[in-house]
């Protein structure tokens, strides 16, 4: 669970870094320009995030389908990790940019 929290926090922090870089690069003055900056910053993170999630899930799937000594315990650890690795990127890609936009649009 600590690993999942760390990956989710990293997703959020790196997303904020990319959003801030896009805003510094373009200096938006209208809400439409701000929206375009947020979209640009978020889109840059799609491929790296998808690759990270795919690798982590690919590493956890053998644990989920494994049989043998200790597999029941390991499956109980891997199941929430897989679920979290599906939801954490979605939150990072959908919720964080929207909240960032709402926060920044008030400052324009």
Per-residue pLDDT of the chain (108 residues; tens, 9 = 90+): 788 999 999 999 999 999 999 999 999 999 999 999 999 999 999 999 999 999 999 999 999 999 999 999 999 999 999 999 999 999 999 999 999 999 999 998
Distances (CA, A) of 106 to 19, 24, 81: 16, 17, 36
Q: What is the spatial distance between Cα 60 and Cα 77, in angstroms, rounded to a whole number?
A: 10
pLDDT of residue 22: 97
pLDDT of residue 108: 85
Per DSSP, the three-state class of 20 is: helix
Torsion sign (Cα): 25, 37, 16, 1: negative
Domain encompassing residue 39: 2-105
pTM for the model: 0.88
pLDDT of residue 1: 76
Which residue's structure tokens are 């315990």? 73
Q: What is the spatial distance between Cα 69 and Cα 87, in angstroms, rounded to a whole number?
A: 30
What's the number of domains the chain is made of? 1
Domain containing residue 62: CATH number: 1.20.1640.10
Q: What is the spatial distance between Cα 98 and Cα 16, in angstroms, rounded to a whole number?
A: 11
Query: For residue 27, which phi and psi values (nearest 5 degrees)?
Result: 50, 65
């Amino acid at each position: 669970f600590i690993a999942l929290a760390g990956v989710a926090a990293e997703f959020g922090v790196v997303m904020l870094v990319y959003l801030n870089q896009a805003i510094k690069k373009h200096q938006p003055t209208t809400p439409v320009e701000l929206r375009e900056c947020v979209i640009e910053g978020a889109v840059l993170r799609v491929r790296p995030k998808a690759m990270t999630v795919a690798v982590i899930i690919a590493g956890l799937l053998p644990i989920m389908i494994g049989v043998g000594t200790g597999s029941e315990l390991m499956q109980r650890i891997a199941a929430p990790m897989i679920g979290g690795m599906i939801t954490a990127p979605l939150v990072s890609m959908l919720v964080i940019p929207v909240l960032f936009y709402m926060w920044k649009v008030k400052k324009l």
